[in-house]
Amino acid sequence: MRLGKWWGPRPLTQLGLLFAAIGLLWWFSSNTVDTMAKAGINPGFDFLSRSANFEIGEAMVSYSSADPYARAILVGLLNTIKVAVLGCVLATTLGVALGVARLSGNLLLAGLVRWYVEIVRNTPLLLQLFFWSALTKALPPPRNAIAVANSAFLSNRGIFVPGLLVENINTIGWLALLAVATAAIGAILLLRRAGLLRAGTVGLMLVGAIFAAAVALYITSASARFDVPALGGFNIRGGYNLSPEFAALLVGLVVKFSAAITEIVRAGIESVDRGQWEAARSLGLHNGQIMRLIVLPQALRVITPLITSSYLDLTKDSSLAVAIGYPDLVNVINTTANTTGQALEALAILIGVYLTLNLSVSALMNQYNRRVAMRGTVQR
């Protein structure tokens, strides 16, 4: 009975289809291997250890053309993760703000947000990326860069912003900083679960984490300083430099998906019964407190599943970076396939990496969604 329940109706037919699928896959694989052998291509992933012999314009870790293909793919992966994480954070922040503004009593503000959403959602992302790429390249040269509060500069060589610069740090130093950050996040989660999380407690923990990080840097002979960019000669020096390609991709993704998140937040807020507003006003709460303490926590049950899809789409659509020259994973894999001839293996790596990234995002968001769904449930 359990076997029938597991297989369902017609188990022999299902087994036959399964073996047919396996046979078809084996036939396709063997034909592919034979075709590659006739073309003089040895199937396998040995090429990952060979020298890549091509440069990558932007890398989060040290890289040179003498490094193997595996390290080049790692550089592309880190670039993809960087733009995906920043894109999700910034798109969520902007989307939530616009979603709340969309429901404000200010007709002008609500109307502007509505037109923003309609224009962005009905324009192809690739076209938007071309627009932002052209805009970044049309910025003035560094000597005539657009200054923002004398601490950030916009130029055709990139966007320069202030940042924390860590120097002379080794692997042990990075591990120590990671341990401090992990301990701080773990302590915040434990206090939150115990119901002891307060603004003062968070402030004290941040001070303690900063002190622990400073001690870790001192022990490992590293140093950290806040670096502000400044115009020097014909170039801008200091701070963080966001390349034109990265800036165009990030802005394009944030604008596109903030519009989708705006509508998700609007729908989530409107799903909360109006009686909640009236009850909160009877307690003397103003609109800001009602939105932050009562409405948004309940709206998260509707918002979270939909916003997960936006995060997955943003991560996948970051692959359009190849169209504007940003060296993401797709760009590096494409170059790898062209220079090695191992197109099938490169494609398999690309599929595996994107599946891993998206399944990881989905798992994290599903876990958060379960926690949100459990809030406010009545224990009987």
Hey, what are 286's tokens? 């103003």
Residue 196 has pLDDT above 80, yes or no: no
Domain-located, residue 86: yes
Mean pLDDT of 297-323: 89
Q: What is the pLDDT of residue 379?
A: 41
Q: What is the spatial distance between Cα 357 and Cα 353, in angstroms, rounded to a whole number?
A: 6
Q: Which of 236, 221, 211 is nearest to 154 (CA)?
A: 236
Domain-located, residue 9: no
Domain-located, residue 380: no
Could you tell me the residue range of the domain that residue 124 belongs to? Answer: 69-138+245-374
Q: Which of 105, 132, 170 is nearest to 253 (CA)?
A: 132
- pTM of full prediction above 0.85: no
Q: What is the pLDDT of residue 1?
A: 43
Number of structural domains found in the chain: 1
Domain-located, residue 63: no
Q: How confident is the model at residue 41 (pLDDT cuts 50, 70, 90)?
A: low
Question: Rounded mean pLDDT of the chain?
Answer: 83
Q: What is the spatial distance between Cα 230 and Cα 252, in angstroms, rounded to a whole number?
A: 27
Kindly report, residue by residue over 101-151, the tens digit of the pLDDT: 888 778 888 889 999 999 999 999 999 999 999 998 888 888 888 888 778
Distances (CA, A) of 37 to 24, 25, 109, 306, 333: 20, 18, 64, 47, 22
Q: What is the spatial distance between Cα 337 and Cα 331, in angstroms, rounded to a whole number?
A: 10
Q: What is the pLDDT of residue 98?
A: 92
Q: What is the spatial distance between Cα 21 and Cα 30, in angstroms, rounded to a whole number?
A: 14
Residue 259 has pLDDT above 90, yes or no: yes
Residue 198 has pLDDT above 60, yes or no: yes
Q: Which CATH number goes with the domain that contains 320? A: 1.10.3720.10
> Do 76 and 346 contact (CB within 8 A), yes or no?
no
Domain-located, residue 339: yes
Hey, what are 260's tokens? 């989708």
Residue 201 has pLDDT above 90, yes or no: no
Q: Which of 98, 143, 128 is nearest to 116 (CA)?
A: 98
Residue 50 has pLDDT above 80, yes or no: yes
Q: What is the spatial distance between Cα 100 and Cα 104, in angstroms, rounded to a whole number?
A: 7
Q: How confident is the model at residue 156 (pLDDT cuts 50, 70, 90)?
A: confident
Q: What is the spatial distance between Cα 327 and Cα 77, in angstroms, rounded to a whole number?
A: 9
Domain-located, residue 249: yes
